[in-house]
Chains A and B, each alone.
Chain A
């Protein structure tokens, strides 16, 4: 049974700099298509640094590499990804009367797919 996590997309320095280099550059795609998880969660799920994982919810599904967060950065149960096309692929349409879709704090499932 895959575990549920809370996904937080957000800005990073590299996301900002590579955005200026171009949305179609390898660096931008790499930055916005890499998942960051806590070391504890990765060990528990048998995910090594760079392994491919599948992350999905009722909106969509993505397969991407997973890397370990720095020590103390992320609590267990939380995932982080640089804001971009991949995170938007999982974004729900509902705005709850605000105009703003739930772009942070998305419920997602996660499982290991393959060695990176």
Chain B
């Protein structure tokens, strides 16, 4: 491990310091971790937030079989063969998950899905999938977190609670850090939270706007109108809970900012309106560029969900919910997204990488999941791994596995592992499945 320094003789209990490690718990992918590793346990995680500390300090390697078939331990080779069987015999297999693994593994998962003519989908479809649809609908005026740190003097957080979901976002990127054009840091920024609930994030703001539930679209549309000088009636307060004067003052402030950003969360994508809500936010940011510079970015959750979007996009042209059964990619959320494929009973096999649909999907989807042959790759014995036909125990990316993850602003970060796992990486297992599938396909042809 080139980045690690062995600080004691190998005969003594091992103590390793890993500098510039990246935390892959949330989409911030903070890459300034300094990890102290003692006897294959991380005992200190300098610079980590409360979530990062929990991610690193609780990490341990389970004592489970490398692989099981129908719950019984089997050899790795048997499991690979059985997994290849499942995928080759399926007519409509779905590959799902991928947001907590490396881009290198994601790439192989897409390739396998292409070889077997299945559907590849990621946890984006139940996260910011509607944002992905909105990007295709109206485009995205984007920025990196570096630009936001150095330039954004007006920051609007909408439908999210970064203080609890992305604890270092405020201090590392968007609120308090001093930037090239913001020498006084927090004092040079105006920050607003728009949400239905006065969360802990509100304390860090200059202004909190409490909106009625399910009225985000109406509020954003009114802001678009005000930005263009179109009259908006005072009844907007009755509809959204926000007084017209407060809304006008906010829009005026946005138009006079030097560089603004709307950072939006799943309060927009998971609630009624979904992609229409995010299309409205993206449109508002676009509109404001007639007056000054504005951008909009989704607050992404899992450590490499942004990488999944990128890899699936540069492999197929679409970010998630991509069907490859006709030999060319077709994108149709609602049809080729995993929750829908399962609840309609259309998928006849599933390969799950680093995700747990049995914990998070609706009951109908779970009911179908247990009826079909499934392959699950997971470091933990998740609910999905418990019912999997073939289950592989894997090494944890970022902690035990090197590779690439994309930060929420589409910036790739190299992952420096803290220590080795006795288990294989997702990449190794997927590559073995792909190899076996190709051998059998070529032999058959």
Q: Chain A residues in contact with chain B, CB under 8 A?
A: 6, 8, 10-13, 16-23, 59-60, 72-75, 78, 80, 84-85, 88-89, 91-93, 95-105
Contacts and interface: CB of A to CB of B under 8 A. Distances in A.
Contacts, number: 138
Q: Which 7 A-B pairs have the closest CB atoms?
A: A99-B337, A97-B334, A99-B125, A20-B54, A17-B54, A105-B271, A99-B333
B193 to A, nearest CB: 13
Interface stretch (B103-111, B262-270, B402-410, B415-423): B262-270
Nearest to A16: B51
B35 to A, nearest CB: 15
A100 B274 contact: yes
With a 10 A CB-CB cut-off, give which of B274, B361, B362 has the most chain A CB atoms.
B362
B248 to A, nearest CB: 23
Nearest to B340: A95
With a 10 A CB-CB cut-off, give which of A13, A20, A73, A95 has the most chain B CB atoms.
A95
Contacts of B362: 59, 88, 91-93, 101
B214 A73 contact: no
B197 A88 contact: no
B397 to A, nearest CB: 15
B197 A80 contact: yes
B130 A100 contact: yes
Contact of A105 (B26, B125, B213): B213
Interface stretch (B159-167, B225-233, B283-291, B305-313): B159-167
Nearest to A83: B360
Contacts of A105: 213-214, 270-272
B264 to A, nearest CB: 13
With a 10 A CB-CB cut-off, give which of A59, A78, A101 has the most chain B CB atoms.
A101
A16 B165 contact: yes
Given A72-B198, A89-B363, A104 B266 contact: yes
B340 A99 contact: yes
B67 interface: no
B213 A78 contact: yes
A20 B196 contact: no
A14 to B, nearest CB: 9
Interface residues of B, number: 58
B129 A98 contact: yes
Contacts of B363: 59-60, 89, 93
B334 A95 contact: yes
Contact of B343 (A72, A75, A93): A93
Contacts of B301: 11
16 contacts: A6-B214, A8-B267, A12-B164, A20-B59, A59-B362, A75-B210, A88-B361, A95-B340, A97-B334, A98-B337, A99-B333, A99-B340, A101-B362, A102-B272, A104-B266, A105-B271
With a 10 A CB-CB cut-off, give which of B164, B359, B382 has the most chain A CB atoms.
B164
B364 interface: yes
Contacts of B152: none
B339 A13 contact: no
Interface string B322-334: 0000000000011
B184 interface: no
B151 interface: no
A102 B273 CA distance: 10
A97 B333 contact: yes
A12 B50 CA distance: 11
A67 to B, nearest CB: 15
A88 B359 contact: yes
Contacts of B53: 17
B345 to A, nearest CB: 12
A66 to B, nearest CB: 16
Given A88-B360, A100-B126, A95 B167 contact: no
B221 interface: no
Nearest to A70: B198
Contact of B339 (A10, A22, A99): A99
